[in-house]
Homo-oligomer: A and B are copies of this chain.
């Protein structure tokens, strides 16, 4: 079995992988994501490569093998199911569950995870809108775009928050922009680098403004979202 350290590296390699699948993840980005010095990342990646979980090309970077990706997705599945459990069953605030899940994801047994999955009725998304890989290691594709490139004026809803830091999620809470929230993007100002959007609530609507860099952290859905 892969150590918790290796599980962490694989997860970060997966999460930080470049959009273009032919590209390598550079060691600089990986070491930053894992939180170790570049030299440490190099030697760990060499070891993980010996176990055929990643391909490593010196001075180019690192890339998951199919086996490594499966392992990464299992870790991610654990992480996201646990987050949902903490929110839905234990009643923790969704802005606070990330750190606990980060630890728990490495110790929860398959048996326990199956039970959690069952209790939550095989959910497809975690509290931040991140897709939960299936037990078979398949990620359902989400048809999403960010608040920067979605159509203006059309009613849509928040699907996913990409920044999981507690502070940011508390801001998201205040704005009422949690996954599922109904919104309409009112305008974009390229000079001011801001987006204005309407949050549609049952009682009253609310206008929210944010910078482009923040708007990028919100994904909105294009098609109907299942479950």
Contact A90 B116 (CB under 8 A): yes
**In the complex, A162 has a CB within 8 A of chain B:** no
**In the complex, A226 has a CB within 8 A of chain B:** no
**In the complex, A92 has a CB within 8 A of chain B:** yes
Neighbour of A104 across the interface among B90, B107, B119, CB < 8 A: B107
Interface string of A78-122 (1 = CB under 8 A from B): 000000001001111000100110011011110110011001000
Contact B112 A92 (CB under 8 A): yes
| Residues of B close to A104: CB separation below 8 A | 104, 107-108
| Residues of B close to A119: CB separation below 8 A | 90-91
| Residues of B close to A99: CB separation below 8 A | 109
User: So how many copies of this chain end up in the complex?
Assistant: 2
- Cα A104 to Cα B111 with chains together (Å): 14
Contact A109 B100 (CB under 8 A): yes
Neighbour of A112 across the interface among B90, B112, B115, B116, CB < 8 A: B90
User: Would you give the shortest CB distance from A21 to chain B, in whole angstroms?
Assistant: 33
Most chain B CB within 10 A, of A99, A107, A116, is at A107
Query: Could you tell me which residues of chain A, from 110 to 160, have a CB within 8 Å of some CB in chain B?
Result: 111-112, 115-116, 119
User: Would you give the shortest CB distance from A104 to chain B, in whole angstroms?
Assistant: 6
Nearest B residue (CB) for A97 = B112
Nearest B residue (CB) for A91 = B115
The 7 closest A-B pairs by CB, nearest first: A103-B107, A100-B112, A90-B115, A100-B109, A107-B107, A92-B115, A104-B107
Known interface pairs A103-B109, A107-B107; 11 further A-B residue pairs with C-beta atoms within 8 A, sorted by A's residue number: A86-B112, A89-B90, A90-B115, A91-B115, A92-B111, A99-B109, A100-B109, A100-B112, A104-B104, A104-B107, A104-B108
